[in-house]
Structure 1
Amino acid sequence: MEKFETKIGVLLRDDLAMWQRLNVTAFLVSGIAGTHPEVIGEPYEDADGRRYLPMFRQPVMVFEGSKEFMRTAHERTLGRGIEHSVFTQDLFATGNDHDNRAAVKAVRTAELDLVGIAVYGPKNAVDKTLKGATKHH
């Protein structure tokens, strides 16, 4: 099994409905895939030669935590300078990328009502950032 020097981690607020957890995870990791081409593997191909899109080349670890822990983890990402994407409660009421960005822009950092963050960086830094979260089940 390949060892990775980096880690992709997603932290979801523990009071989200299942559909929200899945939706938030998909949106959050798209930011990592879109800005870090090195995390994407080669395209897939089945025995009939049919090709499929590539996926992350390393595992994506998904965790959950309370609303308070979301704030703590976000502060840790900011303090450590770890790249991350955010999903706020307000984004459930928007329907497009323009409105999503406007909804985040309208709120000060400390007041963001975070329901999810995705982090990408050195394994040790990501582990320290998410320390205290539980693995999503």
Structure 2
Amino acid sequence: MKEKDTKCVMIIDENLPLGIITNTAAILGVTLGKQAPELVGQDADDASGQSHLGIITIPVPILKGNKEVIRELREKLYTSDYEDVIVADFSDVAQSCNVYSEYLNKTSNTLEEEHTYFGIAICGNKKKVNKLTGSMPLLR
């Protein structure tokens, strides 16, 4: 992915408690970093000689949504028009689990339509991402 042609955003349910909103953003951010490691910059040394790990090289706005908006976006993103876009989601199914093996088991026994999505991250072609999210307000 080329930085100038790439856009990443997160859409998080504004109705969630602050702790769940921040947890959702953190989890989606780690997942994006794994899926698009080329967007993470090199480590940086400060003037004191201390090293700071590389961070993402492009902005990642966090946009306001709700569970219905997030579900609609997710449905659009899983069509052939968006198969080249990275999509990460975080739901009540994942949030309710304490260990990953529990998440895998619970997910395999839960239909997609039974998931309540807390947030979704989208990363890909800037025009495609803007088409879906360009008019959405920032989560503040």
Return the TM-score normalized by structure 1: 0.88
* Equivalent-residue separation in structure 2 for 1:42 and 1:115 (angstroms): 31
Unpaired runs of 5+ residues, structure 1, are: none
Does residue 19 of the first structure (1) align with residue 19 of the second (2)?
yes
CA-to-aligned-CA distance 1:58-101 (integer Å, 9 cap, x gap): 10111111221111111121122222111001222211222233
1:116 CA displacement:
0.6
- 1:124 is paired with a residue of what secondary structure? helix
Alignment of structure 1 residues 79-118 onto 2, 5 Å? 79=79, 80-81=82-83, 82-118=85-121
Unpaired runs of 5+ residues, structure 2, are: none
- 1:107 is paired with a residue of what secondary structure? coil
Tell me if structure 2 keeps the 8 A contact 1:77–1:129: no
Does residue 9 of the first structure (1) align with residue 12 of the second (2)?
no
* Equivalent-residue separation in structure 1 for 2:120 and 2:27 (angstroms): 10
Does residue 38 of the first structure (1) align with residue 38 of the second (2)?
yes
Residue of structure 1 equivalent to 2:126: 123
- 1:11 is paired with a residue of what secondary structure? strand
Residue of structure 2 equivalent to 1:47: 47
Tell me if structure 1 keeps the 8 A contact 2:33–2:39: yes
Return the TM-score normalized by structure 2: 0.87
CA RMSD of aligned residues (A): 1.7
Q: When the two structures are aligned, how many residues end up with a matched partner? A: 135
Sequence identity of aligned pairs in percent? 21
Residue of structure 1 equivalent to 2:29: 29
